[in-house]
Each structure stands twice: as structure tokens, then as C-alpha cells.
């Protein structure tokens, strides 16, 4: 893939990224919005779009093939292997090192053009020799972004980037479009839920209970320490992905969400979990989540739930298992002795749940590429279990169906070496051609797990995503907070 050097322009003005996406990209088939959140004062949001250098990669693990398409010319080809292999084999430009040395807008963890999209769980599992149930549908899709608007929430400004082949013409055009939107107000969302679609669980609560018990039997036999068991909800829908994501970011705001549209597929996510970050200065970070409690509108109950999560023997044991697994994964690509755990057992509050989060960091070893870090750690231990290979083999036999995009990762892989991938959880994937949406859900199982609580957690987690989709499950959802039922 040949491209020319990067050119950029700083605009000292502000447009709400939501308004910019709705006005400029909502009708595009291939586009993305990586979202730092609503009314935030730090971080970056990105609107990702395509020009003459844009490609798509779409991976189907059951046939071990990746379809490559050049959007400007409609040329296409298929290559054998996983999408991770395809991403690593693509030749990318190297001129950015010189560009960013004199570019005041560049930071060590900012996206700087490159790949945006998602890698599905099965693509990662297949790459390490574990085959889940076959699926004829793709689980991975990546878009090569050669035009970018980066929103600097800290400074209240925007940075345009492209390649010089697109040149100043696109910079001028996009600046005019954005300045036209300065001061604009977002249109209200339709909140009519009178005709909710019904979601169908792959495994009923009763069947899921049996799977939990089988997990505990395998753990007791010494085959694993922890297993991340998952389920899937399918919904027939013609929902508009942009509308779904705009609803989702309001009902379940997070700093790691986004909407990505590639080749007729759309991923809308309010993920709270950072799978992997790699900065251009070599800092690696992962923030695994293990441990969930629902939030309560009553402040005293909310505080109790938070304390219960922090003090839970089961949740802490589960969390530290995954921390150890991630430390091991990173140690293979890190400078000797650089792997650290600066934060262990931090409770993070979100709109609907509390999460128990830990942070693992490391320093990239000389000669190791950022993509090698991704391949070393993927699929994430928090979505597989420990030990990873044994856990994934057990889960493949239990789940009897593909996870698809769920439990994989989404975000960006920048051509300058920066990577930021969120865990694909609290996410819906909409296949517009087949008029179906899928939502994954689940939780970590240990020997201490209570099956009733695990079923409740499995049903709780997708609730805000179902609401955003305009759907529901036709069963009551039980929460651990007071044994309440709600839909």
C-alpha cells in the first residue's frame, strides 16, 4: 500500500463530535466515530473517513480468509490467513516519524491515520489453534482511514489529517464544513419504545445454569482456574446504527465507546474496558475488568453495592487471575522487569454498573512491533479465562456457537505506532443486509461463583444496549440489589 506523507491542519474552533458525525458521516457506508464521551474535558475523539488510499479488510475465521477491497477503484482480492496476519503484512508508510517531530498537534497516544475497526474473538482463537463453532459470517472488519478529524477535548480544538495525495483541497473543504457547524445544536432523539423488538438468547437461563455448573466441574478437576462463559442475543431489526449509538452513549456513557461502519456492518459500543494501548514512546497499558455490580438510585444502596464489589473474595480472586495472565502476555514483548501493576482492584462507577478494574503497564522491548503486542495478548484473558489455551478449548465445547465481534477488540492501529483497542463488550453489531443485530454477554466463572448471580449478571450487562437498540428480552431480569425484577 503506497501513500504519501501526512499533512495536517489545526483549527482553533470547536464542534461537538456528535453533530459533526451526524451531519457529515451518518450516511456513509464506511466511516467511524471513536468517542471520548459526552461533555468531557480530556482525551480525544475521532471522525474517521475515506479518500483515495482507503481499503477495507473483512475476515471470516471459519474459512481462514480475509477479503481486501480498495474503495476508490473497487478492486478486491482474498488472502489466506487471519485478519491479524493481514494487518501485520500490509506495507505502511514510514514518513510519519519525520512529520510528527515538528508537529505540535501530535501526542504519544493520539491516532495519526491508519486502521480503524474490530477484530473478532474467533479470529484470535483460531490464530492460536482453538476453533470455535463455524460461522459463514465475518467476525472482523478494518478500514484504512486516510482522512481524519481529531477532536482535542482538553484544548477545545480540532486537528485535520490526511496524506498529501489528498492535499490541501480536502483540508480546505473539511475546514469549511466544520466551521459551518460551530455552535450547532444536536437534533433530539426519538425515544418511542412502544414497539420493542424481542431479543432471542442463544442459551436460555436454564441452559446457561447448566453451562455454569459444567465450568465449575472443569475448574474443580484442575482444567482451568477461571472461565469467561458467554451467551448471545439476536434481534431482528432495521435499526439505524447512528441512532442506536447516539442513544447508547446517553444511557451508558463511557470514555471508550464508538460507532464503526464497514462494508454493510456496524459496531456500536459503550465499552468501559481498555484491552490494549501502545504509545509511540513504547508505553504499553491494559486495564482488565473482572467484577460487576449494578448501580442503585438510592445512595445508601449504591454505596453498599460498591463496597460489596470491592470486598468480594470471588471478584478479587477472579480479577487477580486475569491480571497475572495479562502480566504474562505482556512479559513476552516487554523490556525485562518493566511489567508493573500500578493499580489493583479499583472500583470504577458507570451509569448502570460498578466495575472492578486493575491496570497493568510495560515498556515495549527494542525490535518488537506494536502489532506483535496485539498478537501476543489477543484474545484478552479477561474474555477467555486462565490458563488461556485450556480455558478457550473448554469454552469452545460449551458455548457451541461463534461469539463474532463480541469478546474481541475494537479501536485504532495507527501507522505511526500508536494503538488503542477497547474490549468489545456492551456492544451491538448490526448486519444491515441480513437485518439482524447481535449482542454478546456473559461473565467470569470461578469455583466460588453463585449460578443465580452469574445468570443475573449475564442478563444485566446487555440491558442498556438492548434499550438503545429498541429491544428487550422476553424474560424478567433479576438483579442482586434487593432481588428486584425489571425489564
- Over 80: is that where the pLDDT of 60 sits? yes
Least confident of 129-143, 352-366, 423-437, 446-460: 129-143
Mean pLDDT (whole number) for 347-376? 94
- Over 80: is that where the pLDDT of 333 sits? yes
Q: How is residue 230 annotated by DSSP?
A: E
Please give the angle made by the CA atoms of 7, 8 and 13, to the nearest 5 degrees.
165
Mean pLDDT (whole number) for 129-136? 76
Q: How is residue 429 annotated by DSSP?
A: E
In the numeric block, the cell 471520548 is attached to 36
Return the pLDDT at 198: 94
- Over 70: is that where the pLDDT of 487 sits? no
pLDDT band at 469 (very low <50, low <70, confident <90, very high): very high
Question: For the chain, what is the mean pLDDT?
Answer: 89
Return the pLDDT at 326: 95
Return the pLDDT at 477: 57
Supply the angle between the helices 17-24 and 241-251 in degrees, to the nearest 10.
Answer: 170
The grid coordinates of residue 481 equal 440489589
pLDDT band at 393 (very low <50, low <70, confident <90, very high): very high
Residues 395-405 pLDDT 10s: 999 998 999 99
CB 363 within 8 A of CB 334: yes
Return the pLDDT at 481: 36
Domain 6-181 has CATH 3.40.50.720: no
Query: Which residue from 475, 481, 454 is spatially nearest to 463, judged by alpha carbons?
Result: 475
Q: Provide the CA 334 distance to its chain's centre, in angstroms.
A: 23
- Over 50: is that where the pLDDT of 480 sits? no
Please give the angle made by the CA atoms of 112, 117 and 119, to the nearest 5 degrees.
125
Looking at the chain, the domain(s) classified CATH 3.60.120.10 span 6-181, 197-239+265-486
Secondary structure of 12-59 as H, E, C letters? CCCCCHHHHHHHHCCCCCCEEEEECCCCCCCCEEEEEECCCCCEEEEE
- Rounded to whole angstroms, the Cα distance separating 410 from 428 reads 12
The per-type count for the chain, helices as H runs and strands as E runs, is 13, 27
- Rounded to whole angstroms, the Cα distance separating 365 from 371 reads 13
Mean pLDDT (whole number) for 352-365? 95
Share of the chain above pLDDT 90, in %: 73
- The H-or-E segment that residue 284 falls in is strand 283-287
- Over 70: is that where the pLDDT of 108 sits? no
- Over 90: is that where the pLDDT of 309 sits? yes
Mean pLDDT (whole number) for 324-344? 96
**Beta strands, E only, 120-225:** 140-145, 147-152, 157-163, 197-201
Residues 2-19 pLDDT 10s: 556 788 999 999 999 999
| CATH no. of 197-239+265-486 | 3.60.120.10
Amino acid at each position: 500500500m503506497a501513500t504519501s506523507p501526512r499533512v495536517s491542519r489545526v483549527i482553533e474552533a470547536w464542534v461537538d463530535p456528535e453533530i459533526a458525525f451526524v451531519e457529515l458521516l451518518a450516511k456513509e457506508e464506511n466511516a467511524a466515530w471513536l468517542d471520548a464521551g459526552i461533555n468531557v474535558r480530556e482525551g480525544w475523539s475521532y471522525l474517521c473517513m475515506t479518500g483515495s488510499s482507503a481499503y477495507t479488510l473483512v475476515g471470516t475465521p471459519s474459512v481462514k480468509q480475509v477479503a481486501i477491497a480498495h474503495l476508490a477503484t473497487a478492486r478486491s482480492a482474498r488472502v489466506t490467513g487471519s485478519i491479524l496476519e493481514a494487518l501485520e503484512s500490509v506495507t505502511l508508510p514510514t514518513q510519519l516519524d519525520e512529520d510528527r517531530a515538528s508537529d505540535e498537534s501530535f501526542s504519544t497516544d493520539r491516532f495519526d491515520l491508519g486502521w480503524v475497526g474490530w477484530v473478532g474473538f474467533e479470529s484470535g482463537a483460531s490464530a492460536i489453534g482453538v476453533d470455535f463453532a463455524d460461522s459463514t459470517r465475518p467476525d472482523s472488519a478494518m478500514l484504512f482511514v486516510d482522512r481524519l478529524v481529531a477532536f482535542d477535548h482538553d484544548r477545545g480544538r480540532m486537528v485535520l489529517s490526511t496524506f498529501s495525495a489528498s492535499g490541501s483541497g480536502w483540508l480546505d473543504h473539511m475546514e469549511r464544513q466544520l466551521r459551518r457547524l460551530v455552535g450547532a445544536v444536536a437534533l433530539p432523539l426519538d425515544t418511542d419504545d412502544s414497539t420493542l423488538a424481542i431479543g432471542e438468547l442463544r442459551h436460555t437461563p436454564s441452559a446457561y445454569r447448566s453451562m455454569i455448573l459444567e465450568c465449575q466441574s472443569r475448574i474443580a478437576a484442575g482444567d482451568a482456574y477461571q472461565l469467561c462463559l458467554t451467551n448471545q442475543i439476536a434481534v431482528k431489526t432495521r435499526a439505524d446504527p447512528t441512532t442506536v449509538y447516539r442513544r447508547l452513549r446517553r444511557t451508558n456513557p463511557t470514555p471508550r465507546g464508538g460507532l464503526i461502519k464497514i462494508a454493510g456492518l456496524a459496531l456500536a459500543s459503550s465499552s468501559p474496558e481498555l484491552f490494549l494501548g501502545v504509545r509511540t514512546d513504547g508505553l504499553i497499558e491494559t486495564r482488565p475488568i473482572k467484577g460487576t455490580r449494578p448501580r442503585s438510585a438510592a445512595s445508601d444502596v449504591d454505596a453498599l453495592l460498591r463496597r460489596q464489589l470491592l470486598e468480594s473474595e470471588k471478584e478479587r480472586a477472579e480479577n487477580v487471575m486475569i491480571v497475572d495472565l495479562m502480566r504474562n502476555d505482556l512479559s513476552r514483548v516487554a523490556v525485562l522487569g518493566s511489567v508493573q501493576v500500578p493499580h489493583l482492584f479499583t472500583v470504577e462507577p458507570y451509569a448502570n454498573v460498578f466495575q472492578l478494574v486493575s491496570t497493568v503497564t510495560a515498556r515495549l522491548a527494542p525490535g518488537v512491533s506494536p502489532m506483535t503486542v496485539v498478537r501476543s495478548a489477543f484474545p484478552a484473558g479477561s474474555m477467555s479465562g486462565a490458563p488461556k489455551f485450556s480455558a478457550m478449548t473448554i469454552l469452545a465445547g460449551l458455548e457451541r456457537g461463534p461469539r463474532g465481534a463480541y469478546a474481541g477488540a475494537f479501536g485504532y492501529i495507527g501507522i505511526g505506532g500508536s494503538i488503542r483497542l477497547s474490549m468489545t463488550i456492551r456492544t451491538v453489531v448490526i448486519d444491515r443486509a441480513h437485518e439482524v443485530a447481535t449482542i454478546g454477554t456473559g461473565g467470569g466463572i470461578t469455583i466460588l461463583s453463585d449460578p443465580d448471580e452469574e445468570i443475573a449478571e449475564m442478563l444485566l450487562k446487555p440491558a442498556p444496549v438492548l434499550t438503545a437498540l429498541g429491544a428487550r428480552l422476553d424474560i424478567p431480569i433479576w438483579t442482586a440489589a434487593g432481588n428486584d425484577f425489571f425489564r
